[in-house]
Amino acid sequence: MTIAIPRSTTPAVPGVVGASLRVPLVTGERVEYANLDHAASAPCLEQVRDAVDELLPWYASVHRGAGFASQVSTRVYEQARDSVRRFVNARASDAVVFTRNTTDALNLLARSVPKHTAVLLFDAEHHAALLPWRGPNVRRIATPSSAAAAVAVLDRELAASPVGPRLVVVTGASNVTGELWPVAELARVARGHGARIALDAAQLAPHRPVDLRALDVDYAVFSGHKVYAPFGAGVLVGRSDWLQAAEPYLVGGGATKKVIDHGDRLGVAWSAVPERHEAGSPNVVGVHALAVACDVLGRHWEQTVEHERVLLERLRAGLATVPGLRELSLFGTDHERVGVVSFTVGGHDAGYLAAALSAEYGIGVRDGAFCAHIAVTRLLGEVGAHEERALRASLGLGSTVDHVDRLVAALRTLVSEGPKWNYVQRDGRWVPENDERPLPPFLS
């Protein structure tokens, strides 16, 4: 059966650094890089790069410097909190705490909940949301087969949970399948039982507006490198009372108001939130990049969403024409999703295909279990796969129609004709044999 592939064009969106990057192939040619791994790390926006270049001459210590450059850097750092607030429509009383990334933010929150807090979460979560919550007070819920069932089972679990502080942790969009979770409905159930809810927005924030007030969630976390800023900065936004009552996540300069020597011990008066949990010299450049990315995305949601809708429709239609390909899905293939698709190709090792796509076609995809081993293991079992790895193609502002079409055409060729190059396994991964692709000059 032939499936028609939409020929729609995509709207103009903010430009990304590296859009014209050309990479070498094992066959000796160079081609434009097709980056279809946005779910792992999105490329830097051109506007973010320009903003960082503008800041760097003024780069100096933050908060404790008397020099003019230090005052500028401090102003940049504190204004970034306002950008994040606008980006997620935070409440006026919400704290904005800068962290290294989403994982760091979730670990901070896990360290800050009151003692004996009952934590409920679904087992399909990313490891960053799954692993910080372990112990007798944690209830992991098997992910059901529909969004409506997820809401119903959470209602039952909260009704049976002990009285006291309770926290529900949920993702906004699956990093495996891209499917949207019913966050507002889950928050409504949590509210009905007097529980708080934390949103892992790492995969949602680059693709859809996140509105803390409309969703009625208490906390949200995400990373700069997912929203088109460089690595190194993330954020926890949410209610300040638990954060204020908790011991500092890290201890050191900036987290302290005063330290007194009592001889046999040190007396410490800790700073208030957010400084309480931001010990050490802050990453002012990373935080500025994150803030600018938030501002740019916030001005371009209509174009961003439409750009991804067109490409996702085209990608899924194209993948459906690849013999033996099975798309992975938590809630069913018709469920709404962002630009993330994971799949297997019957009889073909995912790592082998990923290596060939890169080496022979200049296409970057992700293979593996995507730091969501429980979800991927279950989904692979459901499609009859015997492997422990899948392939993931993820779209974003750096993606084009050509990238999508090249991926589909390359997969069809690899399935029907096989690769043109020999591949061997090294350290558990497939790599081209006699790979002579030159590295960029700055690595020589």
Neighbour-count burial for 9-37, b at 16+ CB within 10 Å, e otherwise: ebeebbebbeeebebbbbeeeebebbbbb
* Contact call for residues 331 and 145 (beta carbons, < 8 A): yes
Helices 401-417 and 350-361: angle between axes, nearest 10 degrees = 120
* Pairing of β 429-432 and β 325-327: unpaired
The first and second tokens of residue 357, run together, are 């796509």
Closest among 309, 238, 418, 318 to 10, alpha carbons compared: 309
Q: Which residues are catalytic?
A: 371
Pairing between β-strand 340-345 and β-strand 390-394 as defined by DSSP bridges:
antiparallel
Cis peptide before 323 (omega within 30 of 0): no
Cβ neighbors of 358 (< 8 A, separation 6 or more) are 364
Secondary structure (3-state) at 385: coil
Q: What is the spatial distance between Cα 407 and Cα 413, in angstroms, rounded to a whole number? A: 10
Q: Return the amino acid letter for 427.
A: D
- Give the number of other Cβ atoms within 10 Å of residue 106's Cβ: 28
Candidates 120, 179, 178; CA nearest to 147 is 179
- H or E segment at 406? helix 401-417
Which residue in the block uniquely carries the two structure tokens 């997620």? Answer: 88
